[in-house]
A and B are shown apart, each in its own frame.
Chain A
């Protein structure tokens, strides 16, 4: 059974600092998704990583995927307050239904 683990679950950081959120998953998968959720809001798609070694960047966020290590990272560069949100990673399970299995989320607070 596929399990997806994120760490840390809570992160408080200062503006201007760098940090990395990790997403580990337990069985083979060839792709991974990152979503952002603001309090009381919808889930917003950030990145879709489709192959081993994939790297995508959008503004201060950069995501990468290592399918051999079953690990994805979401790196935050020079954080700003607007990045405060909860970040989820999700991995499709094997088999025909390809259901997305979600991590618990990383709650990020960026402080002035």
Chain B
């Protein structure tokens, strides 16, 4: 079974340029997450989708970040314009649902490594 697939794996852009990341979650997983991970730190949640609905986007910097999950499957995360401080790994993850109380595991993709110069 395929895992969570992300692209591109690596991206280098100049500041003020736009960038977009794509994610295909595990088939059948209703919940999709976008995390950001800085070097030497744990992941930080940006946004969580339940099907096509964004149910937790409190940590998403909405002035420059946007995300969508059309049809409740694939998702894209966009940054426009990018800033130097946006350099990080952007991780997509999915789970069957967000009933963390039942112990559902969150499966992560390999991440999209962004460098803003």
Contact = CB atoms under 8 A, between A and B. Distances in A.
B40 interface: yes
Given A98-B98, A100-B100, A100-B106, A43 B43 contact: yes
Given A100-B45, A104-B41, A41 B110 contact: yes
B101 A98 contact: yes
A45 B105 contact: yes
B106 A31 contact: no
Contacts, number: 54
Given A41-B110, A42-B108, A42-B110, A31 B40 contact: no
A41 B103 CA distance: 23
B24 to A, nearest CB: 14
Nearest to A51: B103
A98 B105 contact: no
A45 B41 CA distance: 17
Contact of B45 (A48, A88, A99): A99
B95 to A, nearest CB: 10
B61 interface: no
B72 interface: no
Given A42-B111, A99-B45, A102-B42, A48 B105 contact: yes
Contacts of B107: 45
A112 to B, nearest CB: 25
A90 B43 CA distance: 10
A74 B110 CA distance: 24
B110 A105 contact: no
Contact of A102 (B4, B43, B103): B43
B23 interface: no
Contacts of B105: 33, 45, 48
21 contacts: A4-B42, A35-B108, A42-B3, A42-B4, A42-B108, A42-B110, A43-B91, A43-B93, A43-B108, A88-B42, A92-B100, A98-B98, A98-B100, A98-B101, A99-B56, A100-B45, A100-B100, A100-B106, A102-B43, A104-B42, A105-B40
Interface of A: 4, 30-31, 33, 35, 41-45, 48, 50, 88, 90, 92, 97-100, 102-105
